[in-house]
Amino acid sequence: MSDNVAVEVLRQHIEAIERLESEKTGIGDDIKDRYSALKAEGFDVKACRKLVAMRKKRTDERTQEEAVLATYAAALNMQLGFDI
C-alpha cells in the first residue's frame, strides 16, 4: 500500500468515526428528551431507566441477578417491597 493510499484510508476512517461520534451525541440528546418527556408526564425517570437496563438483559441473567438481590436483602432482614 502506498503512503498516499494509507493516508487516504486513515483519513476516511477518522472522518467516519467523527460522523458517528456526532450521531452518538444527537442520539444521546434524543434519549435525554425522552426521559424529560416521561418526567413531564409524571413518570418516575429513575424507575424507567432501571426498566430499560433490565430489558437489555437476557431473562436468565436478569433472574439470576434478582435472586442474588433477594438473597442479600434477606440476609440483611430487608423487605424489598416487591416480588422478585
25-61 residue pLDDT tens:
999 999 999 999 999 999 999 999 999 999 999 999 9
**Confidence class for position 81, pLDDT limits 50, 70, 90:** confident
Please report where in the chains the cell 436468565 appears, as a residue: 60
pLDDT at 22 over 70: yes
The whole model's pTM is what? 0.68
Contact call for residues 80 and 67 (beta carbons, < 8 A)? no
Cell numbers representing residue 56 in the block: 437489555
pLDDT at 83 over 70: no
Helices (H), 1-84: 3-40, 45-56, 59-75
